[in-house]
Amino acid sequence: MADMILVVAEQREGKLNRVSFETIAAAQAIAKETGWVVEVVLPGSGVAALAQELAGKAIAKVYELDGAALAAYTSDAYVYALKAFIEEKQPKLVLFPHTYQVRDFAPRLALALDRTLISDATGYKYEGGALRFTRQMFQGKFAADVSFGGDAPWMATIQIGAFRGDQAAAGSSAVENVTAVVANTPARVVPHEVFQEAKQTVNLSQAEVIVAVGRGIKEQKNMLLAENLAAALGGEVAASRPICDNGWLPLERQIGSSGQTVAPKLYIALGVSGAIQHIVGMKGARTIVAINKDPEAPIFEIADVGVVGDLFQIVPALTEEIKKAKGSQ
Amino acid sequence: MKILVCMKQVPQKDAPLRLNESGTWIRDDVSWETNEPDAYALEEALRQKEKHGGEVAVITAGPARSQQVLREALAKGADRAIHLEDDRFAQMDAANTARAIAAAIEGEAFDLIVTGLQSDDFGAAQTGVLLAEILGIPHATIIIGIEKTDSGLKLKRELEAGHYQHIEMTMPAVLTIQSGINKLRYATLIGIKQAKTKPMRKVAWAEVEGKLSKHVQKIEKLYVPGSQKKTRKIDAPAGEAAKQLVEYLRNEARVL
């Protein structure tokens, strides 16, 4: 039997998480270099239609891992069912999208299989038969090439946005229904329904211009600088997580993995260091401008224009220049 | 409730980091601080103790310098500390860190173990989850609300893109705590004074070595990532930088 890469796809409440396709794209890329085959497993209950959707990609097979215990997500049920499944299929490599759900169960699944999990990989290297994954460390200030200790199955989670889901090669594969193995012990966790807090009053995903604020803004009163700049540009103000934690902006204006994902025409980052959790929410922006006093801030790695300097001097000057420019149009 | 808080010392947020000679880790001569999400986990533990009674113990795995994290926690109100003290803990992967912690608390029956959702150095977001697996108890991640009930815990989990979920869970359990769940307290002068007399148990490498796995993830190479884009750098006084930027936005990016 050929060596196999198993992608664990994700669905929630009858909807496929689109980032599953990014992980399929990663698996296809690795398969191209290694000659391994790609298979996909989708845990859930009654998710045949979603499995069919996955089968539209160039993969060898889709397994619909089916069980009532998998209807509403719990880490216990997922670990139990996937452990049995992986032990039976013996993949060489298991890949997951780095979602909150995966973060919740995949480390535990790896340990249950007596393996380790490389989390939040942004890429891979296959050299001389050795597979390594690249991941960010120290809040994105460094990248690391990490190797697995021990034998296959090797396991890794793929960072959101690291591969393009729309580039997953299309094809046609068979879907096989597999009954999930369920523990016969009482449940330790009872999940309730997923909900949203209040109705959103802004939709940042529709904004053409976003001025985002990070820790570098230092004090709440300095938020006015960002507001003035946004007003001059006709854009919206947003922030990284710490700013919203401080209550300086409402949570609905938070950009990043736990907040909004945006892709405006122009994204101006003021004093945003560029931690991974923020980057995943905005790296699709067409033009990214970063203003930061730290020349080594990771935000500069994805910026189209980087201004190294004091935002408290640059932003007022920039606001004035923009007003002038707009006035002369 | 008997609560354990797992904490870690990480480089200060603004500290300029440099690579060591072998290019596999950072040089140690930087400023250090408590991993921010762990500070929130400690605060939550202290609040639970204030509501329900019991005790709060704190644990860290790291070199002598990391004792500072424990001292600060004791000054804020933790009752006792456990220090897995050895240089080798500094770059240990999440699985072995969890094994070391489990070994150090063997025989203790904590009702609740909390830790930050991830560390600012590795950022693997795994240690808490793995500790639960080793101890054979349930866990939940990215928690932003904890309520003790008669039968266990009622928790609020953060999901992606502004979604949330309540879950109920039996105790003992491990929870990973999201930053911003509460407002952090400062240590008081009297707290700092009292901290000096609180128990600090040291656990040596040799005491846990037998529990560690040889199958570890290895950082083959640590390096400054290359720019993913052709970034144009503007390096000029504020007024001039603003002019250049507007010119770029108007004529090249065409967004003005």
Q: Please check whether residue A211 lies inside any domain of the structure.
A: yes
The interface residues of chain B toward chain A in range 50-79, judged by CB-CB distance below 8 A, are: none
Name the pairing type of β-strands A15-16 and A37-44.
unpaired
Residue A173 contacts B where some CB pair is shorter than 8 Å: no
Residue with tokens 């189209």: A304
Answer whether A147 sits within 8 Å of B130, measured CB to CB: no
What are the chain A neighbours of B213 within 8 Å (beta carbons)? 149
- Shared domain for A174 and A257, answered yes or no, is no
Domain that holds residue B242: 225-256
Instruction: Show the tokens assigned to A67.
Output: 């069980």
Q: Please check whether residue B26 lies inside any domain of the structure.
A: yes
- The mean per-residue pLDDT over the stretch A262-276 comes to 92
Residue with tokens 């144009």: B232
Instruction: Show the tokens assigned to A235.
Output: 């854009």
What are the chain A neighbours of B229 within 8 Å (beta carbons)? 288, 301-304
- The mean per-residue pLDDT over the stretch B128-147 comes to 96
CA distance A89 to A176: 13
Q: Please check whether residue A197 lies inside any domain of the structure.
A: no
- Shared domain for A19 and A166, answered yes or no, is yes
Instruction: Show the tokens assigned to A285.
Output: 């922006």
Last residue of one domain, picked from the residues A144, A163, A179: A179
pTM: 0.88
- Convert A220-259 to b/e letters by CB count within 10 Å (16 or more is b): eebbebbebbbebbebbbbbbbbbbbeebbebbbbbbbbb
B226 band by pLDDT with thresholds 50, 70 and 90: confident
What domain count does chain A have? 2
Convert the pLDDT of each residue in A108-124 to its tens digit.
999 999 999 999 999 99
Q: Residue B102 pLDDT > 80, yes or no?
A: yes
Q: Residue B100 pLDDT > 80, yes or no?
A: yes
* Mean of pLDDT over chain B: 94
Q: Of A320, A265, A267, whose CA–CA distance to B242 is shortest?
A: A320
CA distance B131 to B122: 17
The count of C-alpha atoms lying within 13 angstroms of the C-alpha of B35, restricted to the half-sphere facing its C-beta, is 29
- Shared domain for B155 and B201, answered yes or no, is yes
Q: Give the CATH number for residue B122.
A: 3.40.50.620
**Of the candidate ranges A187-201, B100-114, B135-149, the one whose mean pLDDT is the lowest:** A187-201
The interface residues of chain B toward chain A in range 179-198, judged by CB-CB distance below 8 A, are: 179-180
- The mean per-residue pLDDT over the stretch A51-80 comes to 95
Last residue of one domain, picked from the residues A179, A195, A226: A179
Q: Please check whether residue B135 lies inside any domain of the structure.
A: yes
Instruction: Show the tokens assigned to A170.
Output: 């299309």
Last residue of one domain, picked from the residues A124, A146, A179: A179
The interface residues of chain B toward chain A in range 83-142, judged by CB-CB distance below 8 A, are: 93-95, 98, 120-126, 129-130, 132-134, 138-142
- Shared domain for B6 and B53, answered yes or no, is yes
Q: How buried is B177 (Cβ within 10 angstroms: 0-12 exposed, 13-18 middle, 19+ buried)?
A: buried
Domain that holds residue A268: 204-327
CA distances from B235 to A139, A298, A307, B224 (A): 24, 17, 6, 21
Answer whether A287 sits within 8 Å of B249, measured CB to CB: yes
**Strand residues in B104-162 grouped as ranges (E):** 112-116, 139-148, 153-158
Q: Residue A12 pLDDT > 90, yes or no?
A: no
What domain count does chain B have? 2
Contacts 24+ apart (CB under 8 A), A132-135: A132/B220, A135/A159, A135/B123
Residue A259 contacts B where some CB pair is shorter than 8 Å: yes
- Partners of B222 in the beta sheet? A144
- Partners of A137 in the beta sheet? A142
> Which H or E element spans position B43?
helix B36-52
Query: Which chain A residue lies closest to B158 (C-alpha atoms)?
Result: A258
Answer whether B231 sits within 8 Å of A303, measured CB to CB: yes
CA distance A98 to B220: 22
- Shared domain for A149 and A220, answered yes or no, is no
Q: Please check whether residue A259 lies inside any domain of the structure.
A: yes
Alpha helix locations (H) across A62-99?
75-89
- Shared domain for B204 and B229, answered yes or no, is no
- Shared domain for A111 and A55, answered yes or no, is yes
> What length does chain B have?
256
Q: Please check whether residue A219 lies inside any domain of the structure.
A: yes
Instruction: Show the tokens assigned to B15.
Output: 């500290």
Convert the pLDDT of each residue in A159-215 to its tens digit.
988 898 989 999 999 999 999 998 888 889 999 988 887 666 787 888 899 999 999
- Shared domain for B237 and B207, answered yes or no, is no
Instruction: Show the tokens assigned to A115.
Output: 């393996």
Instruction: Show the tokens assigned to B72.
Output: 């600060």
Contacts 24+ apart (CB under 8 A), B152-155: B153/B112
- Shared domain for A217 and A298, answered yes or no, is yes
Q: Please check whether residue B217 lies inside any domain of the structure.
A: no
Convert the pLDDT of each residue in B42-69 to its tens digit.
999 999 999 999 999 999 999 999 999 9
Q: Give the CATH number for residue A63.
A: 3.40.50.620
A48 band by pLDDT with thresholds 50, 70 and 90: very high
Answer whether A301 sits within 8 Å of B132, measured CB to CB: no
Partner residue opposite A149 with nearest CB, options B168, B180, B215: B215
- Shared domain for A18 and A163, answered yes or no, is yes
Answer whether A149 sits within 8 Å of B161, measured CB to CB: no
- Shared domain for A227 and A159, answered yes or no, is no
Partner residue opposite A99 with nearest CB, options B160, B235, B250: B160
Q: Is-contact A127 A41, C-beta < 8 A?
A: no
- Shared domain for A157 and A244, answered yes or no, is no
CA distance B157 to A150: 33
- Shared domain for B247 and B178, answered yes or no, is no
Q: Please check whether residue B114 lies inside any domain of the structure.
A: yes
Q: Residue A329 pLDDT > 80, yes or no?
A: no
pLDDT of residue A291: 95
- Convert B237-251 to b/e letters by CB count within 10 Å (16 or more is b): ebeebbbbbbebbbe
Q: How buried is A182 (Cβ within 10 angstroms: 0-12 exposed, 13-18 middle, 19+ buried)?
A: middle
- Shared domain for B192 and B237, answered yes or no, is no
- Shared domain for A212 and A152, answered yes or no, is no
Residue B65: what are its φ and ψ, rounded to 5°? -60, -30
- Shared domain for B40 and B12, answered yes or no, is yes
Say whether B95 sits in a helix, a strand or coil. helix
Chain B nearest CA to A261, separation (Å): 8
- Shared domain for A14 and A138, answered yes or no, is yes
Q: ipTM, 2 decimals?
A: 0.90
**Strand residues in chain A grouped as ranges (E):** 4-8, 11-12, 15-16, 37-44, 61-66, 93-97, 117-127, 130-137, 142-147, 154-158, 174-179, 189-196, 209-213, 236-239, 266-270, 287-292, 305-308
Helix B94-104 with B127-135: angle, nearest 10 deg: 50
Partner residue opposite A100 with nearest CB, options B130, B139, B159: B159
Convert the pLDDT of each residue in B89-99 to its tens digit.
998 999 999 99
CB atoms within 10 A of CB A170: 7
Answer whether A149 sits within 8 Å of B217, measured CB to CB: yes
Q: Which residue has the higher pLDDT, B71 or B160?
A: B71
CA distance A85 to A43: 10
What are the chain B neighbours of A313 within 8 Å (beta carbons)? 238
- Shared domain for B230 and B130, answered yes or no, is no
- Shared domain for B156 and B192, answered yes or no, is yes
- Shared domain for A28 and A120, answered yes or no, is yes
Q: Residue B180 pLDDT > 90, yes or no?
A: no
Which residues make Cβ contacts (< 8 Å) with residue B102, sequence separation at least 6?
B131, B134, B135, B211
The interface residues of chain A toward chain B in range 302-321, judged by CB-CB distance below 8 A, are: 302-310, 313-314, 317-318, 320-321
CA distance A154 to A133: 11
- Shared domain for A82 and A32, answered yes or no, is yes
